[in-house]
Amino acid sequence: MFEAESEGLAALAAAGGVRVPQPVCAGQTHSHAYLVLEYLELNGGNKRAAEQLGAGLARQHRAQGNYFGWHRDNTIGSTPQTNTPHQDWVAFYRNHRLGYQLELAQRNGYGGSVQRLGEQLLAGLEAFFGSYRPVPSLLHGDLWGGNHAATRNGEPVVFDPAVYYGDREADIAMTELFGGFDARFYDAYRAAWPLDSGYAVRRQLYNLYHVLNHLNLFGGGYGGQAEHLMRALISEIRA
């Protein structure tokens, strides 16, 4: 996990979009694993930092790969995240994102309507893309409000990534899942690279991955939230 996180931070740093804490070293003792990072004194940021973060994320997304996925697997939270390279984004997202989480949910005892709705959604996944053809952008992969901040001089910083090459909309969608991003962030991002008109619907599709992951990690009300999202998405397929 720590070796993959270190490589992810290095990849984000090389893209030159948003600052990250530089990895120092990773390793293990007889009883512990560790990751040492550059120390940064952080605060909550300001309006200028929000604008810089939006513009920087757009620059990061301009760093593109030759396939969807990554050269190694990593984790999303503590859940394994499979990044087997694929040329087809829809197939990648079906097999290695939603499909994987649904299989894990089945093993964790979440069958019934979660699985029935999941099967219907996976079967109709192509309907959400139409003429939209995402390119393999370098993603942070776990960009919620707790994984960004700013240095004392106002420079935005991101950390704790789950890096892979995917549709850039997936990063933007997660910023909206739990909140924590200023409107200036979105304005700056869209000024640098406007989003496709179908994003409003695909946002739910991409956030379903994280809701299912939270179901598998924490249980509770995430099952109902996942079912609600899947019903809404299936209604889009039928419309």
Catalytic residue among 73, 88, 142, 182: 142
Alpha carbons 122 and 99: distance in angstroms, whole number: 7
SS3 39: coil
At position 23, the amino acid (one-letter code) is: P
Structure token digits, residue 171: 């990063």
Structure token digits, residue 195: 């989003």
Region of 69 please: left (phi>0), alpha (psi -120 to 50) or beta.
left
Instruction: Report whether 104 contacts 79 (CB < 8 A).
Output: yes
> Is there a catalytic annotation at residue 142?
yes
Q: CB-based contacts of 201: which residues, under 8 Å, 6+ apart?
A: 128, 233, 236
Alpha carbons 24 and 54: distance in angstroms, whole number: 27
Phi, psi of 139, deg, nearest 5 = -105, 145
C-alpha dihedral sign at 144, 151, 38, 140: positive
Instruction: List active site positions.
Output: 142
